[in-house]
Structure 1
Amino acid sequence: MDQDRRTIAFAGFFVAIHLKDMAGLSLRIIFLFQEIHYSSIMAPDKSIGKDVIMNMQPTTTTDRISLIDILRGLAVFGIFFVNVIFLSSPDLFYQRNSVLPDESAVNQGVRLVIDMFLTGRCYPILSLLFGVGFYLFMRRAEQKGKRVFKLFSRRMLILFLIGIAHGVFFYNGDVLHQYALLGSLLMLFYRRKDKTILRWAISILILFLVMFSLSFLQPAESLNAGSAANYKIAEDSAAAAIEVYHHGNYGEWLNFRIQHEVLPNLASEQIGYPSMFAMMLLGFYFGRIGVFENMGKYTGLFRKIRNISSIVSVIVVVSFACTRLKFFALGAYQALLDQFLIYGCGIFLSFLYISFIVLLFQKPIGHKLLQPLKFVGQMSLTNYIMQSVVSVVFFAGLNFYAKLDFLTVTGYCLIVIAVEIGFSRWWMNRFSLGPMEWVWRRLTYGKLEQARPAAASVVQTASDQRPR
């Protein structure tokens, strides 16, 4: 009992120290966003030209903001490095029981790097970009005189169905249905003032961190994390998964996935909803004030965000490494602190990555290097689903499930990413929409529309121009 009390006290002290540091730095970020808000108010109004094409054609390069596509492409690739661990092994069952498997040093090293720099860091980026995309979609539809709320509701319904199908048949950690559910809530804020949207986003983020921190007040007995019983449950579940993946027929495999992977995930995924929705609101706000359309205007602010988020990120990464390598004896609170540093504080690394790419994009060399990722982002839905389909075929279909170490799996990731970059560039040079993007659009608008040749509408916009 005394040991548990000391562990609770140490964990609370550890979290309190980091919360104090991050609270102060978070306030600075809040002030920066307020600065963005007031600077956007003082900026002259940008009226929309009268030469807008008044038909509902697919969003083409004349309308796209290249930086958004680049960020989206990078986030999709980052997510793949995380997802492939679960696609290639029964790691899910260990995570669900708050234990780590008994694995090789190679696997431990790869897992440590991925968890430090990618897990919980890429979904917030996609969430923010989803919010930007929501604004661009609604603005464009409104300009065409469409019933924007009805149209967007149908768009989210189709995305939800695509996500559920993806989750059931390919990857249990699907995020598309989550974006569809949370994205629907954005319509409640469409007519609200910019300042109101910003306040809601920041308030939800702060509340999310506070509520996450309060979980450390639970007694060690209730957590029961890292116990021998939990490890035994994880081992048995992993063994059952390997048996089905290697020797079961398709029906047995699908039934196992639905019962032991998909449904439990659906029941526990809500923990990340607040931070995802807050980032969507922030992205919506960024879209409203034109952050990505007027990068030069906000360069100084992105530098400040980079500087502040880098400080917090160093604290988070070092703290996570120390806890994962067990420099601190936290007992039952070990897994909880892992989750706090990954999913609670990962948003700070997301801001660091976003600000770094924004600043790099404005340099001639950076602009040139990042261009291939633009095509990946333009068909991000296709690439996201393709990663899962190819991985299921490779690991489950070809019987490589739970047979490769994570370093080899990382090499497999790099090969898939290289193929997707090449395929995306080839496809988008010929068509204006990716395959899944075309399906999504057709089902949204309820009419057959060919993916037109890209060359028919390639006009360079201000956001596509090279930095001077």
Structure 2
Amino acid sequence: MSEPTPPAPLSGAHARPVDVSERVLLLDVLRGFALCGVFVSNSFSWFSGRALLTREQTQALSAPPLEAVVTALYYFFVNQKFVVLFSFLFGLGFSIQLTRAEARGVPIVPLYSRRLLVLLGIGVTHLFALWVGDVLSTYALVGFALLLFRRSSDRAVLTWALMLIGGVPLLVSALQHFGPLLMDGTQAAAEAAKASEAQEAQARTRFLEGLSSGSFRMAREANAQYAVFILPQLKRLLWMSVTLGRFLLGLLAGRHLLLQDVERHRALHRRLLVWGGAVGLLGNGTWLVVQRLRIAGVVDPAKDHWMFALPTLQELGFLGLAAVYVAAFALLFQREHWWKVQEVLAPVGRMALTNYLLQTVVSLCIYDGWGLSLVGRMPPSRCVALTLTLFALQVPLSQWWLSRFRFGPAEWLWRSLTYGRAQPMRLAPRSTVEPSVG
């Protein structure tokens, strides 16, 4: 009698989404927290139209003392920090999926590629049909590059992360600043910069006019036209490289179980609080001071050549405060009385894709001209208060939905298309669910 044939490894056709019991709760909590900050950032800069206003209009909205304080707090604590956190969690999630796929014998490349292609389709639709600030399409494209590092050593991953986050922005900024000066001279470089700024200003004005119109069709056309305008720009490619660097930090953290086993890394999280806070204070504080000096006319980027290093310093500031947020949540959730917070944020994090898309739809209804027509008119304090109120409504909505269904609607679509079959949506009756241990 021959020996039984060992079972073949699972193919991608037998892969499945993780069960609720397999999820890392802290990651869902952090994802919900990050989504709140991303919503505030998107509303403050884009949904409200602030990024499309002239400098004079922006200063007028922020002139009252309360608005000036809210603006300063936003730029120090919120601006880009939560995007960094979200990108970090994306990379960490990839690390967990890679580990689980290897444990089940599932090839990660075809499975993850399908996952990214579906996300790309959702993102491109979101980008052109709804909102130009979409990050899903960028995450999907950069995610393919992340696959290249799945077998790289820790040293290689860290080196590439630091180069992409710090080195590439510094190099690009230096080329942008000194290249025209060396090739064309100071006057020609200044004229070229002014021409570029004028073109950007015209594009933003047309976009704002489209959003302010009472026509849904005109608003969406203006959004698509502005997307076509900004997609080929160098800063878009630069942002993609920085995003990959953030992904790689998440991949590295996932490999070493930084958030899956917090107790073992308690000392590291304490160091991140200190050093992240120091770097965050330096980077974000310097940027705020320089901005005030620019408004006062004390410094000029065209004449003060040291300012080419400011974007890199600012990027390190983003990273520093994001590290503080991660470490603070990790340490606080080792204390029992903080567990209640997880009941608030975890459901939002589990439905992050659905809530992200819902935020866009609701915001367009509030700010665009065919809706409540608040675009370009909301002072910072009201914008932030409104955004936090809307996010607070997403909390019970997410809790209610997940008490009945396994996934959010967008998550269900993403998983069903990824695995090539409709996933079971409704939760099993409580009587048939095995009790969890611990």
TM-score by length of 2: 0.82
| Aligned-partner Cα distance in 2 for 1:284–1:403 | 41
* TM superposition shift of 1:153: 0.6
| Aligned-partner Cα distance in 1 for 2:20–2:434 | 6
* TM superposition shift of 1:260: 2.4
* TM superposition shift of 1:314: 1.6
Structure 1 partner of 2:282: 315
Structure 2 partner of 1:152: 112
Would you say 1:112 and 2:57 are equivalent positions?
A: no
Structure 1 partner of 2:244: 277
Given candidates 14, 26, 30, the residue that maps to 1:67 is 26
Would you say 1:250 and 2:207 are equivalent positions?
A: no
Percentage identity across aligned positions? 26
* TM superposition shift of 1:146: 2.9
Task: Give per-residue Cα distances to partners, 1:40-80, cap 9 Å, x unaligned.
Answer: xxxxxxxxxxxxxx964432231111111111111111111
Instruction: Give the conservation status (yes or no) of the 8 Å contact 1:138–1:148.
Output: yes
Instruction: Give the conservation status (yes or no) of the 8 Å contact 1:168–1:258.
Output: yes
Structure 2 partner of 1:201: 161
Instruction: Give the conservation status (yes or no) of the 8 Å contact 1:94–1:234.
Output: no
Matches within 5 A, 1:29-428: 56-93=15-52, 101-104=58-61, 105-106=63-64, 107-208=67-168, 210-211=170-171, 214=174, 217=178, 219=181, 224=190, 237=203, 239-265=205-231, 267=233, 268-326=235-293, 329-332=298-301, 339-396=311-368, 397-428=371-402
Instruction: Give the conservation status (yes or no) of the 8 Å contact 1:204–1:275.
Output: yes
Structure 2 partner of 1:31: none
* TM superposition shift of 1:248: 4.9
Alignment gaps of 5+ in structure 1: 1-53
Q: Which moved more, 1:128-137 or 1:241-250?
A: 241-250
Q: Give the aligned residue type for 2:376.
A: A
* TM superposition shift of 1:229: 7.3
Alpha-carbon spacing, 1:110–1:245, altered in 2? closer, same or farther (3 Å)? same
Instruction: Give the conservation status (yes or no) of the 8 Å contact 1:93–1:234.
Output: no
TM-score by length of 1: 0.78
Alpha-carbon spacing, 1:287–1:109, altered in 2? closer, same or farther (3 Å)? same
Task: Give per-residue Cα distances to partners, 1:202-238, cap 9 Å, x unaligned.
Answer: 343342354256355465757759x987887676555
| Aligned-partner Cα distance in 2 for 1:223–1:59 | 54
| Aligned-partner Cα distance in 2 for 1:317–1:377 | 27
Q: Which moved more, 1:320-329 or 1:56-65?
A: 320-329
Instruction: Give the conservation status (yes or no) of the 8 Å contact 2:173–2:308.
Output: no
3-state SS of paired residue (1:325): helix
| Aligned-partner Cα distance in 2 for 1:223–1:368 | 57
Alpha-carbon spacing, 1:442–1:417, altered in 2? closer, same or farther (3 Å)? same
Instruction: Give the conservation status (yes or no) of the 8 Å contact 2:84–2:246.
Output: yes
| Aligned-partner Cα distance in 1 for 2:308–2:51 | 16
* TM superposition shift of 1:447: 0.5
Alpha-carbon spacing, 1:70–1:221, altered in 2? closer, same or farther (3 Å)? farther
Instruction: Give the conservation status (yes or no) of the 8 Å contact 1:313–1:349.
Output: yes
Instruction: Give the conservation status (yes or no) of the 8 Å contact 2:52–2:208.
Output: no
* TM superposition shift of 1:452: 3.4
Alignment gaps of 5+ in structure 2: 1-12
* TM superposition shift of 1:318: 2.2
* TM superposition shift of 1:243: 3.5
Instruction: Give the conservation status (yes or no) of the 8 Å contact 1:60–1:458.
Output: no
Say how many residue pairs are matched.
407
| Aligned-partner Cα distance in 2 for 1:177–1:368 | 34
* TM superposition shift of 1:299: 0.4
| Aligned-partner Cα distance in 2 for 1:286–1:234 | 38
| Aligned-partner Cα distance in 2 for 1:110–1:233 | 30
Alpha-carbon spacing, 1:358–1:458, altered in 2? closer, same or farther (3 Å)? farther
3-state SS of paired residue (1:345): helix
Q: Give the aligned residue type for 1:385.
A: L
* TM superposition shift of 1:288: 1.9
RMSD of aligned alpha carbons: 3.1
